[in-house]
Amino acid sequence: MTIIEATPLEAEAAWQILWELMLKQRARLVEAVAQLDLTPVQAIVLRRLDPERPTPMYEIADMLQCDASNVTGIVDRLEARGAVERRTDPSDRRIKALVLTRSGRALRRRALEKMGEPPPEITALPAKDLRTLHEILSRAVAR
């Protein structure tokens, strides 16, 4: 079987459609996480925290592609509500790591449920299309 590479125009057209879908869902995401009294970036941080291990704050800054000082404000708000604790890394005292608290784990679970609810535009697709979409997007994410 011969694999035919997509043209740059085809790739751009597919990317534009994905952007439209994401932008269309932004308000839905904001509303969903607001029900948990979270901002979208706080929900994204909770999503990225590993419940099984401390996550260094620099990893969160890298993931958000922002300066570590920006992460401090986000973490301050999550810490103030009891969702996370800052801990010093035993191997390097300069590194602060985040650990989910019991209530933070529960909040993370609820946030993941809210963020994981597919929009009607996706649930309305036929099962075959959903399987194909999943397969295609999985390959794109794995690259």
Number of domains within the chain: 1
pTM equals 0.84
**Is position 29 within any domain?**
yes
Domain for residue 128, yes or no?
A: yes
Query: Domain containing 101: what range?
Result: 16-142
User: Is residue 10 in some structural domain?
Assistant: no
What's 85's domain CATH number?
1.10.10.10
In a domain, 65, yes or no: yes
Residue pointed to by tokens 């784990």: 105
In a domain, 6, yes or no: no
Each of the 143 residues of the chain gets a pLDDT tens digit; together they read 677 888 889 999 999 999 999 999 999 999 999 999 999 999 999 999 999 999 999 999 999 999 888 899 999 999 999 999 999 988 899 999 999 999 999 999 999 999 999 999 999 999 999 999 999 999 988 98
In whole angstroms, what is the distance from residue 137 CA to residue 82 CA? 35
Per-residue pLDDT tens over the stretch 43-57: 999 999 999 999 999
Q: What angle do CA 18, 21, 26 make, to 5 degrees?
A: 125
In a domain, 8, yes or no: no
pLDDT tens digits for 66-87? 988 889 999 999 999 999 999 9
